Amino acid sequence: MLRKGNLSFKILLFCWAVFITQIVKGQKGYFNYKTITYNDKNLSFPIFNNSKKSLVIEKINQFLQLSELELLIGHEKTSAFEIVSHNSDGLYGGKTDISFELINNSNKLLSIAFNESSCGMTCAYWVRYYNFNSLNGDLISIEDFFTPEGFKKFKPLIIKKRIDNLILQLKSDSLSMDPGFKDEFLEEKTNSIENDNLSDFFIKNNSLFIDGENLLSKNEKFSGIDMTCQFLLNEFRSYLNEYGKVIFMNTPTQLSTFRSIHLPQLYSGTIGNEKILLIFRKTYENQVDGIYTYLKNGIGINLEGSLNEKALYLKELTRDHQENGSIDAGYTWKEIKGTWTSIDRAKILPIKVIRK
């Protein structure tokens, strides 16, 4: 016969095994947040909250969950990480590590950096930055802060300083890098810096930081090279537009009035009669990729295709990367409108989504 103490211990152990997702509360700054973790894996993720900004918070949470977890929390079967951590025995497998850092949590900016890795036949490591307008939930692009002419003038200065920063480090004897490889490395990274889309950035104390860690290969990430470059306000003050002046110089213009016209952004609407959310981003030249989900099940469906001026074409892909349908639509930064077609063309449904 089991003693009462032993029975209680077994019940506690069973509960620990069943409830593999922990929630840790955090309250730092403008937005409150909870951290969801996965007990036996190095996976953690924030869920934000602010009762006075419920629509903004919904938008930010949906964007992050769809982008990083490929699943809207509340629709999981076992954990919020069940899709992205699944190892399909492919080259990179599923995500094995997700950690995050809150860089800004104010009434101007919500900025988050995710450090992530995945492992299959080999491993990959990367960092991803998200900078949101705290008052309307738009994802912010670095170009949003500058006049068109200002950004045109500032971009060459960005490139030069990043390359100069790299050259200075390569002169050091402390790097764990073969001296004969340094010239080849510099040439390769110079090309990468010149073609970087500048999506990996953050802001601290009125300075702009651009991170180039994702320009490094797996082995190069452990060489001691620091690809983060700081730009002080006096280096770009004259190039700022009104949006940038609010962020960097605290001018009194209402922040909620500024809307980003750059991708990626979150769209909401319908395919046929079903409600959906959709995100897509530019990758290379006219190529794009993205993800969408039906709100009824919250499971992400991957997309890839092209954007030629205002003509958007996206292929819908299954989990094993097989085409399962397509979206053919007209695009503006405010609206996407066209048709969704099943792979066998048995169903052709209208799709209409607008910027959330």
The three-state secondary structure class of 108 is: coil
Give me the phi and psi of 277, to 5 degrees please.
-120, 145
Beta bridge partners of 34: 25, 47
pLDDT in tens, the chain (356 residues): 334 444 443 434 334 333 444 555 554 689 999 999 997 779 999 999 987 889 999 999 999 999 999 999 999 999 999 999 988 766 778 999 999 999 999 999 999 999 999 998 889 999 999 999 999 999 999 999 999 999 999 999 999 999 999 999 998 877 767 777 888 999 999 999 999 999 999 999 999 999 999 999 988 988 889 999 999 999 999 999 999 999 999 999 999 999 999 999 999 999 999 999 999 999 988 999 999 999 999 999 999 999 998 999 999 999 888 999 999 999 999 999 999 999 999 999 999 999 99
Per the CATH hierarchy, to which homologous superfamily does domain 265-355 belong? Quinohemoprotein amine dehydrogenase alpha subunit, domain 2 (2.40.128.120)
| The pLDDT of residue 63 | 98
Q: How far apart are CA 72 and CA 62, in angstroms?
A: 7
Q: How far apart are CA 279 and CA 289, in angstroms?
A: 9
Give me the phi and psi of 197, to 5 degrees please.
-85, 0
| The pLDDT of residue 182 | 87
Rounded to 5°, the CA angle 149-153-159 comes to 140
- The residue ranges of every structural domain in the chain are 19-139, 143-257, 265-355
Going by DSSP bridges, is the β-strand pair 42-49/94-105 parallel, antiparallel, or unpaired? parallel
19-139 under CATH 1.25.40, yes or no:
no
| The pLDDT of residue 9 | 39
Exposed e or buried b per residue across 198-228, where buried means at least 16 C-beta atoms within 10 angstroms of its C-beta: bbbbbbeeeebebbbbbbbeeebeeeebebe
| The pLDDT of residue 222 | 85
CB 264 within 8 A of CB 57: no
| The pLDDT of residue 71 | 98
| The pLDDT of residue 7 | 43
Q: Which CA distances in Å does 46 have to 25, 298, 299?
A: 9, 17, 18
Total-model pTM:
0.90
DSSP conformation class of 311: E
Q: Which helix (H) or strand (E) holds 21?
A: strand 21-27
Task: Tell me whether residue 170 is exposed, middle or buried, using C-beta atoms within 10 angstroms of its C-beta: 0 to 12, 13 to 18, 19 or more.
Answer: middle
Q: Which CA distances in Å does 299 have to 62, 67, 215?
A: 12, 11, 30
CB 253 within 8 A of CB 311: no
Torsion of CA 44, 45, 46, 47, to 10 degrees: -120
How many residues in total does the chain contain? 356
